[in-house]
Amino acid sequence: MARGDLFPEIEPFAAGFLPLEDGKATAPSEPAFGPHLMYWEQVGNPRGQPVLFLHGGPGAGAGAVHRRFFDPAHWRVVIYDQRGSGRSRPQASLRDNDTHRLVEDIETLRRFLGIEGWTLFGGSWGSTLALCYAQAHPDRVAGLVLRGVFLGRDHELDWFLYGLRTVFPDAHAAFAGHVPENERGDLLAAYEKRLLDPDPAVHLPASRAWSSYEGTCSTLLPVAAQVAGFARDRASLGLARIEMHYFRNRLFLPPEGLLGRMNGIAHLPAEIVQGRYDMVCPPVSAYDLAARWPGARLTMVPDAGHSALEPGTRRALVEAVERMRA
């Protein structure tokens, strides 16, 4: 296999659900009720170097393709779906769902799996959560691989909601056009009202509109299959509802933001991979982060947008992971 290609498809050697209130494991067939049940899986080498995959969104969930960034002979890969996301239950739930709890969920999972420390791999919102976790628990982190950096600053949120129309006016017109004209001055509030409506006839079309907007703007060149994947009802509801909830609360980040807490992790090695034409998380955030991080290497992919699966970004990520081998 040529260096930089994704590794072959692989199935988990272990998987389950972790009830977050009491930390007891259950089988994946448990019904979707009661406490938050966090889906987790492990692939690769059970005795290998641990690495944790953190998905984007918030609310997007992880998929089988994300297992393939890691050499299965070397890495013990842990993949999970954050509260309310993907295969975790209850689906699209906002109950007790905030950044502090997501950070502590990672610690709960680490202790449950008996892992002392691990490398973090996160893209988009996954990069945000990886930074939050590393800043809270630096002694548990060996290094970080980050892609499509999102620091959760006000101007980054405003860019997603309004600024993107300067580059994707047609996609933004469809996104804004889902709500009445008199509500378009506050798109977040307009979508909040619809995404929290109990009627599926209201919240599902809103979730499709939100998620299709993000999917359309995520690649340098159009990828119809990706947009369709974003728009599937189950996937779109988790992404749109949870993303709206976090945006509405400014990501539940500390007042000083993530850059204000870099001193505690500045010693950690980091690989930052950024698409030059990333319109969802513009490159300035990756540049600002690298400028505050002496141990970081910034790779700017010249022919990519936001998606981790664009060819140049895919190759750069696999190479970045390989450089993190202990």
Residues belonging to the active site: 124, 278, 306
Token reading at 202: 């209201």
One-letter amino acid at 250 equals R
Distances (CA, A) of 93 to 9, 194, 232, 241: 30, 15, 17, 8
* 3-state percent helix, strand, coil for the chain, nearest multiple of 5: 45, 15, 40
Residue with tokens 């680490």, as numbered in its chain:
110
End-to-end alpha carbon distance in the chain: 21
Task: Please say whether the beta carbons of 91 and 234 come within 8 A.
Answer: yes
Token reading at 275: 């698409």
Task: Please say whether the beta carbons of 247 and 157 come within 8 A.
Answer: yes
Task: Please say whether the beta carbons of 143 and 324 come within 8 A.
Answer: yes
Q: How far apart are CA 36 and CA 43, in angstroms?
A: 23
The helix-helix angle for 200-216 and 224-231 (nearest 10°) equals: 150
Closest by CA position to 238, among listed 215, 202, 210, 279: 210
The helix-helix angle for 154-161 and 233-248 (nearest 10°) equals: 140
Q: How far apart are CA 91 and CA 37, in angstroms?
A: 10
Task: Please say whether the beta carbons of 88 and 82 come within 8 A.
Answer: yes
Q: How far apart are CA 276 and CA 282, in angstroms?
A: 8
